[in-house]
């Protein structure tokens, strides 16, 4: 690195703010290994300053008519669409994913904004007339107050939009704590939110690490926390936030299976696995990381087809328009993934395709890793039990559909699953029996659209609400039930429990 690098700021009280904590974290271009920025990390006192601004802004924002808030959402949607290219370039530069993948991330992030444009309808309460004589009951959904989102490095635009869309539309103020590995996109989001006309202080960004996270989790004025990340950190966020009286939705890791039935079209299965296992270098919580063919004949044919395809993946930086897979996020994460590969070999799995020696000319310092494919993996192996979060697909052979269902249901993580088959009865039965939050039938990455909700089961989700869609309208609002009597004439005291 030569010369100075730009500093990535926070946003406090509606303006850019450079932390005075004296602590910072480097930001790298994963394709080159070069430091391209430095992000100043907020102290707990600076987080408290952002919370105070959010508290101050929220009351008036919460009283703003829902239709007015929706109009700002429409403006934000238009601005996001206009700036998709710039957002994608920023994502790719700091994360490393291909430009096409980054464009897709922005598009999927806009979906919940579109849903939030109809927030006035989503916030309608219920009304019952004459629940008792001269007594009516109606319900209100009111904002919870100050909400915070702690978001991961792999989707620096999409996941923040998943959270802030309904948080803001429901009348809350929102504080974003993005990943310090790729923080610049958060400032582009602030710029667009400001241009859309949202009031100052309603949206804030605190750049930081664990100190900032803990400050948000324990601050008495933060009412709700949304988190996406690894399962151990999700559990920590959930238990700590709940212990401090907060609503928490904490989405954790995944080990997503794809069950391949004997009647499946193997060409389509291979297409699906290539994109879902190796897209974004496997750094997706919805990546298919376990292929589970039913029967050895299916497994042999599938592994043979996959092996040739994996060897041909075009691995390149995002500046290459033909790139199919980019680098991993950091040197440290690349080393972690390499450790998983060594573990698989040591435990007896068959490494069919070994991508460890991949090198890209003129990018030797980048964090690239070739696609890897394991066969004959058993459920006891670490590469099956744990989330690798890299371009490593493992094949676990199942003797029957019953075994495939049992193995999938027995895994502690339950984010997503897919089945490929031509049999509608098999697919329907599988979808009903499988203990996983999101199911794809001939769909490899079953991420719901923005007017449904995203969320896993078991140790992939801590809390009772999924993210975006109607689920988070409930998460970001409090239900109030009002019972009213307007009497005509005298009413005596009632000493018994009232009844209709």
- Report the relative pairing of strands 477-485 and 15-17 from DSSP bridges: unpaired
**Measured between alpha carbons, how far is 461 from 253 in angstroms, rounded to an integer?**
8
**Measured between alpha carbons, how far is 49 from 205 in angstroms, rounded to an integer?**
11
SS3 state of residue 488:
coil
Q: Which two tokens stand for residue 137?
A: 């009951």
What sign for the dihedral angle of Cα 429, 433, 438, 439?
A: negative
In this structure, are residues 386 and 340 in contact, taking their beta carbons and an 8 Å threshold? yes
Which residue from 247, 170, 223, 241 is spatially nearest to 55, judged by alpha carbons?
Answer: 223
List, in sequence order, every residue forming a beta bridge with 51; answer none if it has no partner: none
**Measured between alpha carbons, how far is 488 from 427 in angstroms, rounded to an integer?**
61
Of the residues 117, 270, 285, 372, only one is catalytic, namely 285
**Measured between alpha carbons, how far is 475 from 478 in angstroms, rounded to an integer?**
8
**Measured between alpha carbons, how far is 294 from 285 in angstroms, rounded to an integer?**
24
- Report the relative pairing of strands 256-260 and 247-251 from DSSP bridges: unpaired
What sign for the dihedral angle of Cα 455, 394, 328, 96?
A: negative
Q: Checking phi first, is residue 452 left (phi over 0); if not, alpha (psi -120 to 50) or beta?
A: beta
DSSP 127-162: EEEEEETTEEEEEEEEE-SEEEEE--SS-TTHHHHH
**Measured between alpha carbons, how far is 391 from 11 in angstroms, rounded to an integer?**
35
In this structure, are residues 92 and 149 in contact, taking their beta carbons and an 8 Å threshold? no
Catalytic status, residue 42: no
What sign for the dihedral angle of Cα 445, 451, 457, 463?
A: positive
**Measured between alpha carbons, how far is 315 from 327 in angstroms, rounded to an integer?**
8
Residue in this structure with the two tokens 């088959």, named with its chain if needed: 421
In 280-370, which ranges are E strands?
288-293, 350-353
Residue in this structure with the two tokens 């105070």, named with its chain if needed: 52
Which residue from 83, 101, 82 is spatially nearest to 92, judged by alpha carbons?
Answer: 101
**Measured between alpha carbons, how far is 438 from 453 in angstroms, rounded to an integer?**
10
Instruction: Enumerate the active-site residues.
Output: 285
């Amino acid at each position: 690195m030569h010369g100075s690098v730009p500093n990535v700021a926070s946003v406090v009280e509606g303006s850019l703010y450079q932390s005075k904590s004296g602590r910072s974290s480097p930001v790298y271009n994963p394709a080159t290994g070069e430091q391209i920025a430095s992000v100043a990390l907020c102290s707990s006192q600076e987080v408290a300053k952002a919370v105070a601004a959010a508290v101050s802004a929220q009351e008036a924002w919460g009283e703003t008519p829902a239709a007015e808030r929706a109009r700002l959402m429409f403006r934000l949607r238009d601005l996001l669409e206009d700036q998709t290219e710039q957002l994608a370039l920023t994502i790719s530069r700091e994360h490393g994913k291909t430009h096409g993948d980054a464009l897709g991330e922005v598009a999927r992030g806009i979906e919940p904004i579109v849903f939030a444009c109809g927030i006035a309808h989503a916030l309608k309460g219920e009304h019952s007339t004459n629940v008792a004589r001269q007594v009516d009951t109606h319900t209100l959904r009111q904002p919870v107050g100050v909400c915070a989102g702690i978001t991961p490095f792999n989707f620096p635009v999409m996941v923040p939009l998943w959270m802030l869309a309904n948080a803001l539309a429901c009348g809350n103020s929102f504080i974003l704590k993005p990943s310090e590995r790729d923080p610049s996109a958060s400032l582009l989001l602030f710029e667009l939110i400001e241009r859309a006309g949202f009031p100052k202080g309603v949206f804030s960004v605190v750049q930081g690490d664990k100190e900032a996270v803990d400050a948000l989790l324990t601050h008495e004025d933060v009412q709700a926390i949304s988190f996406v990340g690894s399962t151990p950190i999700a559990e920590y966020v959930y238990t700590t936030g709940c212990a401090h009286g907060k609503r928490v939705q904490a989405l954790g890791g995944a080990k997503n299976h794809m069950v391949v039935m004997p009647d499946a079209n193997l060409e389509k299965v291979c297409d699906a696995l290539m994109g879902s296992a190796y897209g974004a270098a496997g750094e997706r919580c919805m990546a298919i990381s376990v292929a589970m063919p039913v029967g050895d004949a299916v497994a042999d044919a599938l592994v043979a087809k996959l092996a040739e395809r994996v060897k041909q993946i075009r691995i390149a930086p995002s500046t290459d328009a033909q790139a199919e897979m980019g680098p991993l996020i950091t040197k440290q994460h690349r080393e972690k993934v390499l450790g998983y590969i060594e573990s698989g070999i040591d435990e007896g799995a068959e490494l069919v395709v070994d991508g460890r020696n991949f090198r890209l000319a003129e990018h030797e310092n980048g964090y690239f890793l070739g696609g890897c494919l394991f066969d004959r993996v058993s459920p006891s192996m670490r590469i099956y039990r744990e989330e690798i979060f890299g371009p490593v697909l493992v094949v676990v052979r199942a003797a029957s559909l019953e075994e495939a269902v049992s193995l999938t249901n027995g895994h502690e993580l339950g984010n997503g699953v897919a089945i490929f088959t031509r049999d509608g009865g098999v697919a329907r039965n599988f979808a009903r029996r499988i203990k996983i939050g999101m199911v794809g039938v001939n769909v490899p990455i079953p991420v719901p659209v923005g007017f449904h909700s995203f969320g896993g089961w078991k140790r992939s989700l801590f809390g009772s609400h999924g993210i975006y869609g109607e689920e988070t309208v409930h998460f970001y609002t409090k239900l109030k039930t009002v019972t009213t009597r307007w009497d005509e004439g005298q009413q005596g005291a009632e000493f018994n429990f009232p009844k209709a």
